[in-house]
Chain A
Amino acid sequence: MDKVKKIFGGDTRQLGMIFALVALIIFFQIWTDGLTLTPDNVINIFQQNSYILVLAIGMVLVIIAGHIDLSVGSVAAFVGICVAIAMRDWGLSWWMGILFGLAIGALVGAWQGMWTAYVGIPAFIVTLSGMLLFRGANQYVGKSNSVPVSEDFQVIGGGYLPEVGPDTGYNNLTVLIGLLLAIGIVVGSLRSRRALVKLGADVEEAWVMWVRLGLICAAIIGATLLFGSGRPGTSFPISGIILAVLVLVYGFISNRTVIGRHIYAVGGNRHAAELSGVKSKKVNFLVMMNMSILAALAGMIFVARSTASGPSDGVGWELDAIAAVFIGGAAVTGGVGTVVGSIVGGLVMAVLNNGLQLKGIGADATQMIKGLVLLVAVAFDVYNKSQGRVSLLGMLTRNFRRGGSDDDSSALPPPSAATETTPVSETIRQSS
């Protein structure tokens, strides 16, 4: 267990989610007699869920900052209809349509951000209002009709990488991207390791790194071959590429940039952040605005995939996105959460959905199961935090930890620490 933990790093919460996802995939792979991990099905999972995952990226930032956004489904639908009509009636090209849609998203976001950040209305209320407002606006603008979009626009939702080069039996571009990604990760790990050694910081043993890199590369190459070996004409979907780029960009923003740090600071302790010079209103405004821009993008991806914008697009998306974020380890009280965790949380829901569909389980049972999974995942988290533990894995590995450094930390006074590290469970209890 000790070795497993070393290989996958210290973030046991996230580790638990990744294990849950892998276990879920294996379970469905067996239960569906191998239908889960076929190229067509995997591509399908991505295409069906990419817009929810895009929303989850924005939503995790909103939730880290201590807010919530209930309007994303309606905003997505509103932007979708506006873009569809603009392209049909004004003859906008596909890329102008996308820019137009993102601009509308920014305006909507500025509206909601203004009320949340500068007027001080709780985001729950502002976005509940937005949910009604923009749902109505969608139906008003589209007169409750479906409006089709052109084929070149449909690429962002339903398109694939083109076939280029010699016929290898795989989609060459997909394989190329997969290889580049694997090489990039290896080179990046080696470089950051060298930098850490230079600083004289503690580094993990070499074998740990190599085993981890081996596993990651195996996973990437496996996925690459899976995506690349589908029916001719299919490959890694364009929407998946958009998603991957967003994960990289937002993962970087949340971790390595000033605004990212400020989002965590405001969500973790707004007063302390303000007294450290963070402009919390600006942070809240930007977070809310960003969410609506991503909602606009999600709406357009959906419209592109379903070839038309309709009056009931995006119903219930906000709940899927919020569920993904919380399954991915974010705290209701803010300050905690990661982009990658939310994506993993979203994929857990997606695989669950897909597997149950493959087995022909009805929508009624599927919803009940999803609801319970959300509850159990967060309850598990809350329970462990209230026990002063990080997670099941953390609990199991606690007695196996080696060496002096952990002993030092346990020598520091525990009683206050134990109560202070349980923000989620505490607030939940207080509010009940």
Chain B
Amino acid sequence: MSDPSIPAPGSSAADSTGAAAGPADTPGSVILEMRDITKEFPGVKALSNVSMAVRRGEVHAICGENGAGKSTLMKVLSGVHPAGTYDGEIHFEGQVCEFNNIRDSEHAGIVIIHQELALIPEMSIAENIFLGNETAKSGVINWLSTRAKARELLARVGLEEEPDTKIRDIGVGKQQLVEIAKALSKDVKLLILDEPTAALNAGDSQHLLDLIAGLRSKGVTCIMISHKLNEIEQIADSITIIRDGKSIETLRVKEDGVDENRIIRGMVGRDLESRFPDHTPEIGEVFFEVKNWTVRHPSVPDRLVAKHSDFFVRRGEIVGFAGLMGAGRTELMRSLFGRSYGTYVEGTIVKDGKEIRLRSVADAIDAGLAYVTEDRKTLGLNLLDDIKRTTVSARLQRITRGFVVDEREEYNYAESYRKSLRTKAPNVDEGVAKLSGGNQQKVVLAKWLFTEPDLLILDEPTRGIDVGAKFEIYGIIQRMASEGKGVILVSSELPELIGLSDRIYTIAEGAVTGVLSREEADQESLMRLMTRRTHGGSQATTRESA
């Protein structure tokens, strides 16, 4: 794979070759170097002193857990986070680059393809390829040459579709190819692919990987972010591992003899500090059981988001759910919570020995379920409301007489939850929009505790929350378990799952792929189960390493 490949068409590269660049066009020379990149968001250091070098004509993978900082790094590189909002230097083609927006980086030849495709469904392939970059004379588009060029580009990516076909009429795999054609239309030198195969099936994924290999042989350098380690092992020449916003190491696949286990070790190899409050679990009998739970995607009927899943929860138990982004954890939980996601196919829920049918969220709340959503601001809170109204909103009938809300009780409850969860706010009349992330999350927790649930489902309860508030939230979670409630904890942070859970289920592609006890669970074993393929394609590698 490190065989010399044909360099990029020399002309454009030569223009930008600076004095310091040395043997600029030689394959294997460094095309991109990022030095000591540090990026801070209010209260969070997303990247600290990340450095990496990408060699010309290679496929360079970036690996790391969810939230490690991969996407932030790519946003810095592509100018989404403009120069000046981060520290550090970017050298591209031997020149220091300061991109103020995506246009700047694209002008330099860096094109990023995001995980969520940026295509407009109602427009044709050709229109999408040249969107914002139209072949036009004084504003009038030359459709003849647009189509001709589009056809040429489609041939390069091996897509046999007419340029006039609408995007919504082709599948996700082909849409991905259109995105690449769009990138190629911009004279790309460095192509960044963020989770390019996440939404693709095995066949489409393989086709895409072949195409990337083909582009490499034509001199296009690629950076690829992926969670699918077998794909990385197959295609990458180098791998940079990022963990907790720091660059850990860069591995050369050929020279270092890298395999999946080696990558996993790099990704998760951090110590567990005492970041969790002390807690002695008192686990009772099984009271909540899900059997053969199967749910269809709401708009793609042939896609199952939950596949014959079985699991159970005991009283006083904290049950973790691990899975990569897009594995279907949230979908599973929301489908259980009154069918608020997807289309129910089959499966039963048994609570306290009785089968229950939850047809609406109201049913689920009445049955003693509570679901703290993953995305606090878009799904969990009405940001226009204040603390006291939010606290009682999920079970207003608890404080109503007839249809009338008892405002004294409302105040009482809100105030007592504010005190017991130690929400930092001057009073319960404060608008929730004014609170910090951690305090907003406490208000959401108060809202669900107010419903007096038996089973509390927490979906990424500490996302975007600083360390101190995390510790407090962990304490609250453990307190609930001690009160005899069952807790389901969905989290992308493996240390958090391992630190809190009594038992951990792993999910991949909508199916439960394993369950580990507290003692068995470590990051490597979880990661292996999380990346296990449930059907099709190249599962051999994962099985071997398991």
Contact = CB atoms under 8 A, between A and B. Distances in A.
Given A199-B411, A271-B379, A413-B43, A408 B434 contact: no
A265 B433 contact: no
Contacts of A258: 396-397, 400, 403, 405
Interface residues of A, number: 36
Interface string A297-310: 00000000000000
B393 A261 contact: yes
A405 B395 contact: no
B426 A335 contact: no
Interface in B313-347: 334, 337-338, 340
Interface residues on B, range: 35 or more
A202 B361 CA distance: 36
Interface in B405-419: 405, 407-408, 411-412, 415
B437 A416 contact: yes
A420 B433 contact: yes
A423 B384 contact: yes
A22 interface: no
B430 interface: yes
Contacts of B377: 420
B379 to A, nearest CB: 5
B393 A412 contact: no
A13 to B, nearest CB: 13
Contacts of A257: 400, 403-405
Contact of A413 (B42, B364, B371): B42
B439 interface: yes
A408 B425 CA distance: 7
A276 B361 contact: yes
A274 B381 contact: no
Contact of B383 (A256, A269, A275): A269
B382 A335 contact: yes
Could you say which of B371, B433, B435 has the most chain A C-beta atoms within 10 Å of its C-beta? B433
A405 B426 contact: yes
B405 A261 contact: yes
Interface in A219-269: 256-259, 261, 264-265, 268-269
B393 A276 contact: yes
B470 interface: no
B381 A272 contact: yes
Contacts of A272: 373, 378-382
A278 B395 CA distance: 9
B393 A265 contact: yes
Contacts of A169: none
A297 to B, nearest CB: 21
Given A274-B361, A409-B426, A269 B381 contact: yes
Contact of A277 (B360, B385, B433): B360
Contacts of A293: none
Contacts of A412: 424-425, 434-436, 439
A406 interface: yes
Nearest to B385: A268
A276 B447 contact: yes
B188 to A, nearest CB: 30
Contacts of B389: 261, 264
Given A257-B404, A258-B405, A420-B433, A277 B384 contact: no
Contacts of A408: 424-426
A24 interface: no
A336 interface: yes
Interface in A97-114: none
Contacts of A261: 389, 393, 396, 405
B165 interface: no
A95 B379 CA distance: 47
Contacts of A279: 360, 362
Contacts, number: 118
A259 B404 CA distance: 9
Contacts of B364: 277
Contacts of A256: 404-405, 407
A421 interface: yes
Nearest to B397: A258
Contacts of B385: 264-265, 268
A148 B362 CA distance: 50
A274 to B, nearest CB: 6
A256 B340 CA distance: 28
A258 B377 CA distance: 23
B470 to A, nearest CB: 16
Contact of B408 (A195, A202, A276, A423): A195
Nearest to B435: A412
A389 to B, nearest CB: 13
Contacts of A413: 42-43, 436-437
Instruction: Classify the interface of chain A: helix, strand, loop or mixed.
Output: helix
A258 B396 CA distance: 7
A333 to B, nearest CB: 9
Contacts of B373: 272, 275
A166 interface: no
A365 interface: no
B135 to A, nearest CB: 28
B394 interface: yes
A233 B458 CA distance: 67
Contacts of A362: none
Contacts of B424: 408, 412
A277 B361 contact: yes
Interface in B430-481: 430-431, 433-437, 439, 447
Contacts of B334: 275
A416 B334 CA distance: 27
Nearest to B426: A405
A273 interface: yes
A119 interface: no
A421 B382 contact: no
B382 A268 contact: yes
B74 interface: no
A268 B426 contact: no
A372 interface: no
Contacts of A164: none
A397 to B, nearest CB: 17
Nearest to B361: A277
B429 to A, nearest CB: 8
B365 interface: yes
A421 B434 contact: yes
Given A275-B361, A421-B433, A268 B384 contact: yes
A409 B407 CA distance: 23
A277 B392 CA distance: 12
B234 to A, nearest CB: 39
Nearest to B394: A276
A415 interface: yes
A272 B352 CA distance: 28
Contacts of A417: 433-435
A381 to B, nearest CB: 14
B88 to A, nearest CB: 22
Nearest to B447: A276
B115 interface: no
Contacts of B85: none
A201 interface: yes
A396 B42 CA distance: 28
Nearest to A198: B408
A409 B384 contact: no
Nearest to A200: B415
B447 A269 contact: no
Interface of B: 42-43, 334, 337-338, 340, 360-362, 364-365, 371, 373, 377-385, 389, 393-397, 400, 403-405, 407-408, 411-412, 415, 424-427, 430-431, 433-437, 439, 447
Given A199-B415, A409-B430, 10 more contacts: A201-B415, A258-B405, A261-B393, A268-B382, A268-B385, A269-B378, A273-B393, A275-B379, A412-B439, A421-B433
10 contacts: A199-B408, A199-B415, A258-B400, A261-B396, A261-B405, A269-B379, A274-B340, A279-B362, A405-B427, A412-B434
Among all A-B residue pairs, the 8 with the closest Cβ atoms? A268-B382, A405-B426, A277-B362, A276-B394, A269-B382, A268-B384, A335-B384, A277-B361
